A = this chain, B = another copy of it.
Amino acid sequence: MTPRQLTLTSPNRVPTLTEIFRPISRRLSRVDRALRSWPGSSSPVVRRLASGTISKQGKLIRPGILLLITGHLGYRDGLDILLAAAVEGIHQASLIHDDIIDRSDFRRGEQTAMQRFGPDYSLLLGDFFFIRSISSSLSIKDREIPRMLAETARLMIEGEMEELAESYNFNLSRARYLKIIEKKTASLFQTTCRLAGRLGQAGKKEAEALEEYGRNLGLAFQVTDDLLDLVGQPSRTGKPAFSDLKEGRVTLPLILALRKADSSGRRKLTTLLEKIKDGKDEQLWPELLFQLRNAGAFHQAHRQAASFTARAREAAGRLQPSVYRQSLLQLADFVLHREQ
């Protein structure tokens, strides 16, 4: 078997993140330390809040991707650590603010900043991470880098606003849903790859492949996230089920079921959703899940995610073989099959 065949075959056992990030595990710890050092010069209250927020259980997926790519490109200057921390900082900022909007108490099985410190401190803490992330990238000579980071943060915020504006819109189209998750989630994955390519001086074709990898991985990541909200085990995902539904977020499985149904099925489904919306009646959830499953919505959403990861794998497959590329390919499997 050529390495290509090997990596394109779907694995029987999906590797863990620890396995996937093994080639960069030491450098990833440096990112973690860099993040933890951010509040260092700040006042005690900032230090206390920030250190209580940067969880030890953060998956550090985006920094991992960045370091895998700079590793693949043979980059060894150390700025990738700083930039990986900046990317994770933007992600953390957006999580902290999301948790305020969604009133989320748990994430990855741990109390959110929102739950621990309340909305006021969390708001300021998110601000701190946004500003600190962009600020730290300003020490890099290449002026395009902070610009790309700021532009991506802006897109993410816009995506969040658009998502909020579409709450309880049961007519949301698949295309519009994809546009929104592209902004709010995929943009940071794509930018992570773009930044890594820029640092590592990727050639034009490599850079294109990297961005395509990031974008598709990000889209897959969000679709599986939305699936996990409906079918995941809260004990694995570390957050309560149906969070999206409770906030009126219309995600892909819902859109697919509504689209597939005939007019009477659609009426039945929207009536059910309206009831859940008005009363937040948890007794109706099993019925909704049953209808979604019957409509094949979960299967179809999973296929959509699989199609994105296939595109991500195809893009990564265009890179030269390396231990880092192998990890990028495995990461696509992880994103598709993850249970958390």
Contacts and interface: CB of A to CB of B under 8 A. Distances in A.
Interface in A78-124: 97, 100-101, 119-121, 123-124
Contact of A151 (B135, B151, B153): B135
A114 to B, nearest CB: 11
Given A130-B131, A131-B154, A146-B146, A161 B45 contact: yes
B143 A120 contact: no
Contact of A130 (B120, B125, B127, B143): B127
A269 to B, nearest CB: 26
Interface in A138-168: 138, 143, 146-147, 150-151, 153-154, 157-158, 160-162, 164-165
Contacts of A293: none
Contacts of A134: 131, 134, 150
B138 A154 contact: no
A97 B130 CA distance: 14
A49 B161 CA distance: 10
Nearest to A120: B101
Most chain B CB inside 10 Å of its own CB: which residue of A43, A46, A49, A143: A43
A128 interface: yes
B130 A138 contact: no
A146 B138 contact: yes
**Number of copies of this protein chain within its complex:** 2
A150 B131 contact: yes
Interface in A152-205: 153-154, 157-158, 160-162, 164-165
A296 to B, nearest CB: 32
18 contacts: A42-B158, A43-B162, A45-B161, A45-B162, A100-B119, A119-B119, A121-B161, A124-B161, A127-B130, A128-B154, A131-B153, A131-B154, A131-B157, A132-B154, A134-B150, A135-B151, A138-B143, A138-B150
Nearest to A180: B43
Interface string A39-78: 0001101100100000000000000000000000000000
Given A132-B154, A138-B150, A158-B42, A101 B123 contact: yes
Interface residues of A, number: 37
A46 B155 CA distance: 11
Given A131-B134, A132-B154, A146-B146, 16 more contacts: A42-B158, A43-B161, A45-B164, A101-B123, A120-B164, A121-B161, A121-B164, A124-B160, A127-B157, A128-B158, A130-B130, A131-B150, A131-B153, A131-B154, A138-B143, A138-B147
A127 B97 contact: yes
A126 B123 CA distance: 10
A337 B153 CA distance: 40
Contacts of A130: 127, 130-131
Contacts of A138: 143, 146-147, 150
Most chain B CB inside 10 Å of its own CB: which residue of A128, A157, A165: A157
A242 B319 CA distance: 63
Nearest to A102: B120
A207 to B, nearest CB: 21
A54 B305 CA distance: 40
A199 to B, nearest CB: 18
Most chain B CB inside 10 Å of its own CB: which residue of A131, A135, A143, A164: A131
